[in-house]
Amino acid sequence: MSEPILRKASELDERDIGSLTWDATHNPELLSFSADRLSVTWGPRKPAYQGAYPPAWVPIRSEGRLHSGIFMWDFLVEEMARAQIGVGFMLQWDRGLDWGFYGYLGAGMTAWAYDPSTGDVVTRTESVAGGLPTFADGRRGVVSVRLELPRIAPGRGIFIVDRLEAPPIELPTGAVVVPAACLLRESQRVRLGNLSQAPCAS
């Protein structure tokens, strides 16, 4: 079997970016979705769930596949229940997404998560940027992401919390990006909002 390869923007029509809504087919036995699929909540557990114990992390992907432009959106963390939570994005591979182990967004080689309980941006389970603001009440706050994704040039991603920007994350040429999150505790809830899009210079 051939090695997996990253999807390229050049393989997609420039207008084919999916939608910034949660994928209601991803872990539906554990997650609940608002009618507009902009909010996702861990719980209540559905009868279809067969596990004896809840998982360590519950991952959730969006239906967006962003490329060939400049994008910005907010993760509105409506309840983090004073526990770790991860919000961020992943690169799309020809065979899907690389979640790493246990469904933790910051475990994959091509995934980045911001954890508002610690103020760290994490990839491959390691912090690559720290010192960002945390959520003072341990429950709610806003994390913004800006992606600069030229169609035929390298891109970058930036996490923004309380107007403070983390160092840019360098992304490969023509990257296709999927917004995503991972939840650690039942009752955690995240809403997607305020998507803006603009053309790139290249």
Tokens at residue 182, please? 């991972």
Backbone φ, ψ for residue 154 (5° rounding): -60, 150
Reduced to 3 states, what is the DSSP secondary structure of residue 147?
A: strand
Q: pLDDT averaged over the chain? A: 93
- What pLDDT does residue 53 have? 67
Average pLDDT over residues 149-160: 96
Q: 152 CB contacts (<8 Å, ≥6 apart)? A: 9, 10, 173, 174, 202
CA dist 43 to 26, 54, 152, 185, Å? Answer: 14, 11, 41, 9
Tokens at residue 1, please? 């079997």
Average pLDDT over residues 151-162: 96
State the pTM of this model. 0.94
- What pLDDT does residue 36 have? 97
Could you name the CATH architecture of 9-198? Sandwich (2.60)
Residue spans per domain, the chain: 9-198
- What pLDDT does residue 85 have? 96
Average pLDDT over residues 23-30: 94
Could you read off the pLDDT of 116-135 as tens digits, one per residue?
999 999 999 999 999 999 99
Average pLDDT over residues 41-57: 81
What is the number of other CB atoms lying within 10 angstroms of the CB of residue 25?
8
What is the number of other CB atoms lying within 10 angstroms of the CB of residue 149?
24
61 in Cβ contact with 182 (< 8 Å): no
Residue 202 has pLDDT above 70, yes or no: no
Average pLDDT over residues 77-93: 96
197 in Cβ contact with 69 (< 8 Å): yes
What is the pairing mode between strands 189-198 and 69-79? antiparallel
**Side-by-side strand order, sheet with 177-183:** 18-22, 58-64, 177-183, 85-91, 111-115, 120-123, 126-129
